[in-house]
Amino acid sequence: MQVPLFPLNTVLFPGGPLPLRIFETRYVDMIGNCIKHDAPFGVLLIREGGEVGRATTYDIGTLARIVDWYQGSDGLLGVTARGEHRFRLISSRCELDGLSIGEIEVLPGEEDIPLPEKYRPMAKILAGVLDDLGRLYEDLERRLDDAGWVTNRFVEILPIDLEEKQQCLEQSDPGERLRLVHDALRKVRGPIGTA
């Protein structure tokens, strides 16, 4: 499968929202194409370089599909996309306009795993945080009883390093990711009522 790639200084997770402000011509054209054909694009965390110009990326990313767009008062294109499936980048090529096109392998989706009882307080904390975050998270289907969904949302919003977020994206075992998130949450917040 081939998709346009959007290297960013962010890690997108399946089911998560991605707000973007688009100003580079190559990405305005890419977004227009994706809207016209209801096609996804690939989001990859930048390893070296910047969002403007050339960048090298990690190989595991997430497909994103546009769910809303608008023209801002400043003339920039505003887009909200939602993460779909994780993928592995096999190879990429650069088009004449500077847009990278990736040959990707879509990774298998995770099975729903019930949130273990000892981690239930995390779901209550997350529900409150998502309520406070407003519009970006209000339209998401909430699956507060699913370990993978809960950990993905926490990793998106916790103030942890991008490399740690990338490690969580690459971790395909929701149970292990849950332990990583629980530890990170304890560092940020203190004890959260589990043994």
Q: Report all structural domains of the chain as residue ranges with CATH numbers, in order of start.
A: 2-106 (2.30.130.40), 117-189 (1.10.4060)
DSSP string, 50-104: -SSS-EEE-SEEEEEEEEEEEE-TTS-EEEEEEEEEEEEEEEEEE-TTS-EEEEE
What gap in Å lies between CA 136 and CA 162, rounded to an integer?
20
pLDDT for residue 177? 83
CA distance 83 to 94: 23
pTM: 0.88
Query: What whole-number percentage of the chain has pLDDT above 90?
Result: 56
What amino acid occupies position 42? G
For residues 132 and 64, what is the distance between their CA atoms, to the nearest angstrom? 24
Bridge partners (DSSP) of residue 62 are 43, 86
Query: For 122-177, how does the pLDDT look when each residue is reduced to its tens digit (9 = 90+)?
Result: 899 899 999 888 788 888 889 999 999 999 999 998 888 899 899 999 988 888 88
The neighbouring-strand residues paired with 6 are 43
pLDDT of residue 195: 40
pLDDT 10s digits, 84-98: 999 999 999 999 988
Q: Which two tokens stand for residue 102?
A: 């990736």
Coil, helix or strand at residue 48:
strand
pLDDT at residue 111 above 90?
no
